[in-house]
Structure formats: C-alpha cells, structure tokens
Structure 1
Amino acid sequence: MTEDFYDVLGVSKDATEDEIQQAYRKKATEYHPDVSDDPDAEEKFKKVKKAKEILTDDEKRSAYDQMGHERFEQAEKRGGFDGGAGGAGGGPFGGMGGGGGGFEDIFNQFFGGGGRGDQSRPRQGQDLRTALSLDLEEVYDGVEKQFTVTRPKTCADCDGAGHPPDADVETCSECNGQGQVTQVQQTPFGRMQQTTTCRRCGGEGRLYSDTCSTCGGDGQVRDEATLSVDVPAGIRDGQSLRMEGEGAPGPNGGPNGDLLIEVSVADHPDFDRDGDDLRYQHAISFPQAVFGDTVEVPTLDGSVDMDVPPGTQSGETFRLQGKGMPRLRRRGHGDLYVQVQVVTPSELNEEQREALEQFAEAGGEDVEVTEGFFERIKNSF
C-alpha cells in the first residue's frame, strides 16, 4: 500500500499547518542528500518535500482529503492537458480545452478557486541561493562563518501592502471583488467552467488609488544583510547548507523561504582532497630511500613522524590512518596518503662525487628490477 502524505511526514490528518511545517523541517534535515547516509535519501527527501507542498496548500489538501492518495496521484499524473489524450480518449481529464493548464487548473476547474484564496492567502516565500568560499583548514575544523547577502525584505513603509495606508480603495469591477474570474468553455464532455486569477487586480479583489513610492507597489525592497552560519567539519565542495527562514518574505504575511548556501572549498597548496582522504607528496633523499629514515610529515592537525623503510622506491605511497578529513556528521577521519619522491641531486660536492664513484665501481650501476616494479610506478602516477 502506498504511504500517504500524512504518513510521510509522520503527522495526523488533523495536524495544523505549523505542525506540518515543523515535521517537514525535521524530516528534510534527516533526509537531505547532502548530509544523509541513507542510500534512498534523495527519493525520501523528494517525498517529504511534496507532502509538505500538498498539505500546506488549503486547496490541494482539501482535494487530497476528499480524493484519497491513490486518486489524487492519478489526477496529478493526468494533469497535463496537452499530452496526447485528445478527443474522447485518454481518461476523464483527457482533451479538455486543448491547452496546457496543468495540475493547478484541475483544482481550479473542479474544486473552485476559493474566492480570493490563491492570491490573498498567506504563502511561503521563495528560497534564495548564495555562495560561500572556505579554505581546507576551515573545513577541517568546522567554523562559524559570517557572510553578506542581498535579498528582498518586506517594505517597512507599506508593511508589504504595496500601497500607502491612506490610499483610496475600490472594488475591482472586472471580478466584482472576488479576485477571480470564471470562463465557460465548450468541450467534448459538455460545458466546463474554468476559474482564473483576475489580471486587473492580481487576485486581491481591490484596486488602490496610489502605490508605495518606496517599493513601487511590489511590497518588497532589496536589503543587504550580514548573517552567520555554522559550517560543519568535513563538508565537501559543492554541498549546500540550509538556513531556514532566511529567504524571501512570504506574500500576504506568509512565512519566509529558506536560504541555501552552496559551499566552495579552495584548493590547498600542499594537500589534494579525495572524499574524506587527503594526498600529499613528500621529497626524500637518495640515502633516506636506501637506508630508511623517520621523516616529519605535515597534516592539517600538526606534523607527525612517518617511517620510511630501507629500499623505498620513488613513487611509493604510505597510508597514515585517521590523518585525513573529518567525516561529515559522523565519527572518525579519513586517511592521509603520502607519496614519496626520491630527489636526485643536481649538484655534488667533491666528497659526494667520490663516494658515488666508489659506489658505482662497487657495482652500483647494476639495476635489479623486481617483478611488478614498473606496474607500481605506473600506478603511483
């Protein structure tokens, strides 16, 4: 049996809009693809988002409760009016009017427009996006970061109404104050009526003698705000953070949208990041490669000692467990992979030259290649 929208959010069928919004925020945080380890997180996140959109819309929720989940889903799938169902075929919604009204028009036509409901009721504001640049050290430790964003806010002079408080008001003559107009069309199934938002008054049902000089009638102005966000340790380049309620203001006093912050992590001069792992190249001398040594290797949490065994070849890689990046919202760290490069000296003093000549005379120019040597060198690059 298909899980209905109330079950998806974990709320009862008489839940208030605030309870639905609260449940949505909890579920969205749990299943957001950027932070969830659930392999089905993306699909679950889509279901949660859709459930919220339906159940916080009075018109759609009413239709959903009347039709039930299965019939509602079927009606939604048939919502495209111009998709290959013309004439008498294609099911009960096929061929109506020949134009593309979509899902919203189904409810406008069959369940009415609810007076001025669509335009005058409170609605959630739009989500906004911004970018935030970080360096690898900030990502390693996690950081509280301040940033500036330009976004719309409710006009203080008109309180979002778009007109002065003392403006003269009159009833819209085109919709008679209803905010919507109804058109009757002849279809193969008979006469059908379609309700749409009044273009003249924009759905308000009223006209005003003047517009607000500050916002030009939009009800919103541009504002520059300085915000602070907690960046969790281990976040990756391209992932996003969500700040609830920091988006655009909602029309007619509705709740604000959210602010989505896309993270950009700058390249590091020493380390290459590979998921939660780090890669680093470390130079060693010829004697260190031959005789072995303990070398000091930098990490993002301070330097550590690493043993280089005798006979190390250039290009060999050593793993330092737990010295990589923190795992996002999980315990532990990735690893640090250190590739050693044997440096051939370009200039020798007299003593060094004599020593190498003696080495060559003793057979140092003979090279014995073990099986798999070239394969390891190829893989190291």
Structure 2
Amino acid sequence: MSKRDYYEILEVSKSASAEEIKKAYRKMALKHHPDKNPGDKAAEEKFKEAAEAYEVLSDPNKKARYDQYGHAGVGGAAGGGFGGGFGGGGMNMEDIFSQFGDIFGGGGFGGFGQQQRGPRRMKGSDLRIRVKLNLEEMMSGTTKKVKVKRFKQAQGVTFKTCPTCGGSGYQTRVTNTFLGQMQQTVACGSCQGIGKIADHVPPGANNQGLTKIEETIDIKIPAGVREGIQLQVSGKGNDAPFDGIPGDLLVIIDEEVHNELKRDGNNLHYDLYVSIPEAILGASKEIPTVTGKVRVKVEKGTQSGKVLRLKGQGLPSLNSYGNGDLFIHINVWTPDKLSKEQEAYFEKMKDDESFSPHPSKNDKSFFDRVKEMFN
C-alpha cells in the first residue's frame, strides 16, 4: 500500500516554512491525540502518520531528499530492510511522545489527560557509511555486504528498577507559591527518565551495558539510486542502553565514474568519434551501454554535433517512472597529420563545390543544440 504525501497529511504546501510545518503538526497531533480519542484506532494511526510526516519535513536534509525523491529518498519505499523513520522503523507511541513532546510544552503532551505515560525509551545513535556503486549496480539494484562497528547490548547485562522513581521514570516536585502549592512532574534525575539503572555489567561492557562489535550487514540497494541519496536500514545503528530502541544505519550512495558513459540524472551521454570518411559515407559503429554493447548506424553526410537518442537505455527512476535515455554525441574527428598524397587530395578538393559548407534549416547551430538539451 502506497504512503500518503507528507504535505497532504499535514495540510501544508511545499513552500511552507519550518514554523508553519510545526504548527500544522501540532494541530494534527492535537486533533488525533489518543487522550482525546480513547480507543479510536483510526485516530491513533493518523496521530502516528502525522508524526512520521513531521519527522521528515522538520529535518532540512530529509525534507530536501523527500522533495526530490519522494518516500524512497527517506527510506519509505525501499523495502527489504529499509525504514522511513516511524513508518518503517517501528517507533511506538512512547517514542513519539519522547521525541516531539517539547512541541506541546512541558507537563504533559498537548494538555489532554495529563496522565503519566511511564518511563521513556532511549534511542541509540545512528551510524553513517558510504557505499560505492557502479552504473550496472544502479541500473539493476544490488545487495552489498558491509562490515559495521556498532555498540550492542552485552550478553548477561541486567538492569534493576530505579530506586529513586520506582521505575516510573518521573519525579513529582511540589513548590509552594503565593497562589498555593504547584505540582510539577519531571524526568527522574537518577535514571534520566528511563526507569532503570544498570545492575550487573559483564566484563568488557561500558557502564550502560554496551559493548562494541563488528557485524556484517546485507544492504539491499534498489534500482535507480544515484550519487548522494541516503538510504536507511532500521535498527542497525548503535543499540540504546536499558533495552531501548536501536539507532539506524544511514547509507550514503557514492557513484563510481564510468570510463565511457556520463550520467545526467537518469539520462546517459556518450561521445562517439567518427572519421571524415565515415561521416561522408556512413558507418555502423559499436557503442557501450550499461548492459552491454550495441551498434548504431551513422547516416551518410552526418555532421559533427549530431545527437542520436537510444530511448530507454538510460537508468531507471527510483520511483519507477521508467528509464532515461542514452544520447550519443557524434564528433567528426579531423586528423592533424597527413601524408603528402592525402594533403594533395584534400588540396584538390578544397575548392570543390561538394566540400563547401551548405547548412540547411535542419542543421542546428551549437546554441540550438544546447538549448534543446536543456529543454
């Protein structure tokens, strides 16, 4: 099932400012808040959906990738282990309250019910790696095995209930004011709101029960990725202490330079050099594509600068909108060294009418070709 557009979910335009996006999220979250809609599963899903949209649109980098690539750019459509933050990463209601509760002010989430939601769950830090791909891998998609050093909860670590807050993660403070007593609920200072502290830590682990390991991870790369795009593998970042939520592994794509083909978006370009006789008489030339060699026909009388187009021989779109094209730029190569016989032949042909330039209306100028390429 395809995801809804994040701007549509928050009912804002793509040009909305950060403050407008924040206000729109607050409005949607208040409307569908579980305290206001007890037992309403549909409202709960809309509440989570709004949080997922805000998680992406409130982050300038994620927003830029989403604007360019859609859900696939933030991991929402990659499948096979990729997650899009809340939607694919499995964050629950506690995570949303913990991460975005500040939007609604302290002392509760949105002002509904004000009930204590229990100890918070920590989220482990994300890890970033770069993966280099060639055009063939970008064309078809691939699976890469990478070694990642990450913090993982050590075997044998145990925790106990925080004695300060009794496992609630919160402390209640009562302050006397001229208006009377005011009660405030704050995160526990001993356990930082987690409700647990380390009890037994195995040798080699840190004081939070984490140890560093090297793990081999399979990363599924979808067809159509390109330089700079970031994919997300949920739960393969650093573990969080005290049975928290693991961070994510963020995979940044680097593109290997092809020896012959140049990439421009989903389109590819190739410079084909032909000799003067081939341009005059025509020829059949072999050229490279991502999937192998093909032959193209150079017509008689082909001019330097002519562009041939092989439709669909470019790279696929990440959003499955079809393939780009391969453009073949023909360059007539002029030799700079000739034998005396060759020089004599061309000296004789120099004033021949057949060799005099007679451009027709169909022969585009350099500026026309450049304009056509950008259009």
Fold match, TM over 0.5? yes
One-letter amino acid of the counterpart of residue 219, structure 1:
G
1:146 aligns with 2:148: no
- Alignment-derived partner of residue 100 in structure 1: none
Distance 1:219 1:362, change over 3 A: same
Alignment equivalent of 2:315, drawn from 310, 325, 332: 325
Query: 1:341 Cα deviation (Å)?
Result: 1.1
Give 1:221's match in structure 2, choosing from 199, 207, 211: 211
Which structure would you say has the larger Rg? 1
Cα-to-partner distance string for 1:26-56 (whole Å, 9 max, x where unaligned): x99xx9986999979999x7x9949999962
Secondary structure in structure 2 of the residue aligned to 1:253: coil
> Is there any run of 5+ residues in structure 1 with no aligned partner, and where?
62-72, 80-102, 164-168
Change (3 A) 1:127 1:177: closer
Q: Is 1:198 matched up with 2:188?
A: yes
Deviation at 1:307, TM superposition (A): 1.8
User: Which residue matches 2:93?
Assistant: 56
Residue of structure 2 in register with 1:375 after alignment? 367
Amino acid in the other structure paired with 2:141: G
Q: Which residue of 1 aligns with 2:306?
A: 316
The yes-or-no answer on 1:300 pairing with 2:290 is yes
In structure 2, give the amino acid aligned to 1:147: V
Give 1:241 shift.
Answer: 2.4
The separation in 2 between residues aligned to 1:204 and 1:374, in whole angstroms, is 67
Could you tell me which runs of 5 or more consecutive residues in structure 2 were left unpaired when the two chains were aligned. Answer: 1-10, 12-26, 77-83
Aligned residue among 196, 200, 222 for 1:232? 222
SS in 2 for 1:252: coil
How far does residue 147 in structure 1 lie from its aligned partner after superposition? Answer: 0.8
1:118 match: 119
In structure 2, do the counterparts of structure 1 residues 235 and 201 end up closer, same or farther at CA, with 3 Å as the change threshold? closer
CA distance in structure 2 between the partners assigned to 1:59 and 1:141 by the alignment: 36
Distance across 2 between alignment mates of 1:54 and 1:237: 29
Does residue 286 of structure 1 match 2:255?
no
Q: CA deviation at 1:283?
A: 0.6
2:85, 2:350 → 1: CA distance?
73
Please show how residues 59-98 of structure 1 align to structure 2 within 5 Å: 60=97, 79=104
Matching of residue 137 in structure 1 with residue 136 in structure 2: yes
After superposition, the CA RMSD in angstroms is 4.8
Go from structure 1 to structure 2 and tell me whether the alpha carbon gap of 1:199 and 1:211 turns closer, same or farther (over 3 Å shift): farther
TM-score by length of 2: 0.66
Instruction: Map Cα deviations across residues 240-263 of structure 1 (whole Å, 9 max, x no partner).
Output: 222233233244324434322121
SS of the aligned residue for 1:225 comes to strand
Q: CA deviation at 1:106?
A: 3.7
Q: Deviations over 1:345-377 (max 9, x none)?
A: 011123322321221142466433445535346
- Identity level (%): 29
- Cα deviation 1:223-251 (Å, max 9, x = unaligned): 21111122122211122222233233244
Query: Over residues 303-328 of structure 1, what are the superposed CA-to-partner deviations in whole Å (9 max), with x where a residue is unaligned?
Result: 11212223322222111111111233
CA 1:111–1:319 in 2, change beyond 3 Å: closer, same or farther?
A: same
2:334 to 344, 349, 362: 344
Equivalent residues of 2:273, 2:330 under 8 A apart: yes
CA distance 1:236–1:158, shift in 2 (3 Å)? same
- CA gap of 1:367–1:212, structure 2 versus 1, over 3 A, is same
Query: What is the rounded CA distance, in whole Å, between the counterparts of 2:232 and 2:198 in structure 1?
Result: 38
Q: Distance in 2 between matches of 1:205 and 1:140?
A: 49
Match of 2:127 in 1: 128
1:183 aligns to 2:176 (yes or no):
no
SS of 1:118's equivalent? coil
Find the aligned partners of 1:53 and 1:253 in 2 and give their Cα distance: 15
Query: Are 2:73 and 2:230, in contact at CA under 8 Å, matched by a contact in 1?
Result: no
Q: 1:112 to 1:181 in 2, by over 3 A?
A: farther
Please name the residue that 2:21 is paired with.
none
How many aligned residue pairs are there? 320
Give the TM-score, by structure 1 length: 0.65
Q: Which residue of 2 aligns with 1:64?
A: none
Q: 1:156 and 1:261 mapped to 2: Cα distance?
A: 28
Paired residues of 2:153 and 2:241 also in contact (CA < 8 A): no
Mean Cα displacement is larger for which, 220-229 or 288-297? Answer: 288-297
- Identify if the C-alpha distance between structure 1 residues 281 and 301 changes in structure 2 by more than 3 Å, giving closer, same or farther: same
Shift of 1:150: 1.4
